[in-house]
Amino acid sequence: MSIRWRPHTIRMRLTLLYASLFLGSGIVLLAIAAYLVFRQPILVTFAPKAVPAPPLPDGALPPLAPQVGAISVAPTLNTVRAVFAGSAIGLAVMAVVSTALGWVVAGRALSPLRTMATTTRRISERNLNQRLAVAGPRDELTELAETIDGLLARLERAFEAQRRFIANASHELRTPLAMMRTSVDVAAGKPRPVPKEVTVLAGKLREGLDSADRLLEGLLLLARAQNNGTTQTEAVHLSELADSALKARAGAIAAKNLTAECRAAAVTVPGNPILLGSLVDNLVDNAIRHNEPGGWLRILAFTERGRTRFAVESGGAVLDQDAVDLLGQPFQRLGSARTSQPGTGLGLSIVAAVAAAHNGTLTLRARPEGGLRAEVEL
């Protein structure tokens, strides 16, 4: 049994409380015993030793029988010291024993709390269906566990309702958008001459509908990543995804005269290929869209200490780290320059959700020289 002397823990406080109570009660008991013992002299009884009597002459009377006597003896200083020394040694030994027993008893009493804390740390929005389910008699600890289980159940229902709403709303909105697009195409494609203003208006409507479609696709992908997004699992080559993303965006890279570099090693990760492909695409899109003309971007993929890391770096203006930390949330952007760029504001939040679905994390760091480094650890 290893004992860590950490006074701020409940177990150590309970142990010290047990030991203090024992020492206090032992000292009081010792004082009472000493008072009762030494308040009166000690009564000592004695009897003379029987010695065989010599034979008596004829007619002589026998001597009187020896009498039993008693005397009072006051305890000496040495006796008092010996009694107190023995009592103090016994009290010290029992204090050590009681402290060790108190540590064991406190540990057993707090064992359900440690189990509850360990289980609660493992529960996240990905596994809210887990429960503490602490077994044992009906006491304060089981009531606490049931209260936490009830809270987890309410959180699970709230998360499920949110995900269903996003998915259902996105699906339901596709139908009116498709009808609007069809109506615009029919009105602009009629054989009679169409006024120039109508053509311009039709172009703006199509642009708005395209933006709405991208937003709905992003919401659907976000909901899928947050709700059992890793059901289809296979070995995914991150280097191939990176090469495909760069080739698909060669026109956008050339339009901004960017220097793109890919240093992706041949690493594979188990996961959903569609979601991981969206993760790579969104990171590359973000690096291109929010880059400066004539800038650069770099893609890295490597394995470090058994964990796979995929990072996309890009140049640009110097960014504030506090503002960068918020970019993983939906619809968060930086500054007027970023808000004026096309996009839905869901890219990095989708990346964060996909990373979480694969037991990973997204880290965003503003580069001191300017630009952003987005790194996903899987």
φ, ψ of residue 123 in degrees (nearest 5): -90, 130
* pLDDT tens readout for residues 221-236: 767 666 655 556 788 8
Nearest to 217 by CA among 305, 307, 278, 137: 278
- Residue 51's pLDDT is 55
In a domain, 260, yes or no: yes
Dihedral angle over CA of 144, 148, 154, 156, nearest 10: -160
Confidence at residue 298, expressed as pLDDT on a 0 to 100 scale: 92
Output phi, psi for 129, to 5 deg.
Answer: -75, -10
Domain containing residue 173: CATH number: 1.10.287.130
pLDDT confidence of 183, banded at 50, 70, 90?
confident
Say how many domains are in the chain.
3
Rounded CA gap, 129 and 155, in Å? 10
Residue 49 lies in a domain: no
Is residue 288 included in any domain, yes or no? Answer: yes
- Domain shared by 194 and 252, yes or no: no
Domain assignment present for residue 130? The answer is no
Q: What is the mean pLDDT of the chain?
A: 76
Last-in-domain residue among 226, 249, 264: 226
Domain at 283, CATH number? 3.30.565.10
Q: Which domain holds residue 344?
A: 234-377
Tens-place pLDDT, residues 266-308: 888 888 888 888 889 889 988 998 888 999 999 999 888 888 8
Once rounded to an integer, what is the mean pLDDT over residues 191-211? 76
Q: How far is CA 141 from the centre of its chain?
A: 21
